[in-house]
């Protein structure tokens, strides 16, 4: 019996990383961080977006999509739960920033932990009664939760209803680094730092008890429960951590956008973030990063073709998912065994 390894980018990168010495790994990480950090200075290159400024696109949608996709990947990719209401946590973080930022003297960094806490509380309150459900039933409940949050914001006086909240304060400067709408490099670096922190958190948890529990739940929840895994506890943990990332993204988004309204937090956002996770490769951190980057950047790069860009965007999704149904960077190494007649095992 011969084993034929079907090459994919995920396995190629994993093999390079595993075979590299520790100094080489540190060098690769540092060089990669520096190169990504220099992206805002490439607005005059072939990467430039035709209408919106390149550094603004790097912050939103690209950076925010990557951050939210990593948060949703904890729920969908690590634990195997389908969440169609993830935008609700994004909205909770954004409205926390908008309301506290316009009614108190707190700045963005002081409001950030409050927004994360509110999103986590919402995740726990939603998770306790609903995470006993599975599959399509859970997806329907989370979809309903996302719409409930949007409708509450749309019809409440404290959220100013459909008019939204304006004059949300920008973050205070960090030493010599100034936050500006005309030049959003500092915003991008902050989003980048949040992404790196999220990746570090996910990688640390993956190799510990929570990560092993999530993997067991994803593979077979019934078997995991029979083996003594407290499935509900770890599902709530997954849901809460994903909500925290979404809340953090919402706080920074409101502070960067200066204005928010319920129409910014529709089901379409949840579907698009889920598409980023699936497109990149469910469960694979780097696949999710690549998928969110492509799907966040592509519509703005081809915006010059007007409404036809949506057709091109859809065609790219269909073509890629046909050739790589597991995503650009699949979760697991793909191996196929070819058994020839007369061969000895």
pTM of the predicted structure, to 2 decimals: 0.90
Distance CA 131, CA 345 (A): 45
Mean pLDDT throughout 69-92? 95
Of 309 and 337, which is predicted with more confidence?
A: 309
Average pLDDT over residues 236-258: 96
- Please report the pLDDT score of residue 74 as a whole number: 95
307, part of any domain:
yes
| Arithmetic mean of pLDDT, 2-10 | 48
* Residue 192 structural domain: 2-7+52-338
CA distance 99 to 169: 10
- Of the pLDDT bands very low, low, confident and very high (cuts 50, 70, 90), residue 20 is confident
Q: Is the pLDDT of residue 2 over 50?
A: no
Does residue 345 form part of some domain? no
**Bridge partners of 336?**
4
CA distance 200 to 229: 24
Tell me the residue ranges of DSSP E strands in the chain: 2-5, 335-338
DSSP string, 68-96: HHHHHHIIIIIT----S-THHHHHHHHHH
29 assigned to some structural domain? no
Q: Which residues contact residue 320 at a Cβ distance below 8 angstroms, ignoring those fewer than 6 apart?
A: 279, 328
Residue 165 main-chain phi, psi, to 5 deg:
-120, 125
Here the CATH number for the domain that contains residue 81 is 1.10.3470
Q: Is residue 323, in this structure, part of any structural domain at all? A: yes
**Residue 64: predicted pLDDT:** 97
On whether the CB atoms of residues 128 and 235 are closer than 8 A, the answer is: no
Q: How far is residue 253's CA from residue 264's CA, in Å, rounded to a whole number?
A: 11
Q: Beta-strand (E) ranges in 105-202?
A: none
**Residue at 24 is within a domain:** no
For residue 93, being part of any structural domain is answered with: yes
> In the prediction, which pLDDT does 165 show?
97
Which range (235-244, 300-309, 331-340) has the least confidence? 331-340
What is the per-residue pLDDT for 279?
93
Residue 345 clears pLDDT 70, i.e. is over it: no
Mean pLDDT value across residues 245-272: 96
Q: CA 178 → CA 14, 107, 257, 259, distances in Å?
A: 38, 14, 16, 19
122-181 pLDDT per residue, tens: 999 999 988 888 888 999 999 999 999 999 999 999 999 999 999 999 999 998 999 998
Q: At what angle do helices 87-103 and 108-130 cross, to 10 degrees?
A: 140
Query: Is pLDDT at 332 greater than 80 in this prediction?
Result: no
Question: C-alpha distances in angstroms, 137 versus 78, 166, 176, 266?
Answer: 19, 37, 50, 20
Domain assignment of residue 61, yes or no: yes
Q: What's the rounded Cα separation, in Å, for the pair 121 and 149?
A: 14
Domain total of the chain: 1
Q: What gap in Å lies between CA 48 and CA 313, rounded to an integer?
A: 18
Does a structural domain hold residue 162? Answer: yes
Mean pLDDT, the chain, whole residue set? 88
Pairing of strands 335-338, 2-5: antiparallel
């Amino acid at each position: 019996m011969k084993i034929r390894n079907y090459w994919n980018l995920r396995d190629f990168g994993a093999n390079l990383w595993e075979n590299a010495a520790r100094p080489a790994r540190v060098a690769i990480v540092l060089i990669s961080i520096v190169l990504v950090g220099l992206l805002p200075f490439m607005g005059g290159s072939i990467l430039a977006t035709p209408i919106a400024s390149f550094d603004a696109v790097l912050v939103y949608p690209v950076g925010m999509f990557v951050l939210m996709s990593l948060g949703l990947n904890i729920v969908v990719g690590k634990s195997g739960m389908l969440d169609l209401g993830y935008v609700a946590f994004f909205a909770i973080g954004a409205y926390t920033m908008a309301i506290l930022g316009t009614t108190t003297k707190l700045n963005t960094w002081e409001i950030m932990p409050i927004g994360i806490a509110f999103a986590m509380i919402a995740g726990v309150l939603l998770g306790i009664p609903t995470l006993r459900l599975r599959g399509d039933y859970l997806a329907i409940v989370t979809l309903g939760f996302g719409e409930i949050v949007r409708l509450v914001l749309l019809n409440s006086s404290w959220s100013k209803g459909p008019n939204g909240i304006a004059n949300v304060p920008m973050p205070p400067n960090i030493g010599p680094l100034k936050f500006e709408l005309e030049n959003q490099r500092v915003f991008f670096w902050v989003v980048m730092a949040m992404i790196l922190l999220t990746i570090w958190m996910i990688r640390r948890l993956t190799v510990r008890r929570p990560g092993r529990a999530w993997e067991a739940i994803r593979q077979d929840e019934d078997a995991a429960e029979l083996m003594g895994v407290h499935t509900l506890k770890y599902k709530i943990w997954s849901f809460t951590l994903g909500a925290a990332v979404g809340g953090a993204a919402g706080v920074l988004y409101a502070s960067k956008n200066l204005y928010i309204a319920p129409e910014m937090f529709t089901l379409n956002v949840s579907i698009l973030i889920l598409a980023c996770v699936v497109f990149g490769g469910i469960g694979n951190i780097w696949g999710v990063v690549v998928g969110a980057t492509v799907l966040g950047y592509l519509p703005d790069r081809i915006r010059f073709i007007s409404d036809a860009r949506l057709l091109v965007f859809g065609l790219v999704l269909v073509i890629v998912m046909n050739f790589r149904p597991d995503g650009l960077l699949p979760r697991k190494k793909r191996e196929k065994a070819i058994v020839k007649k007369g061969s000895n095992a």
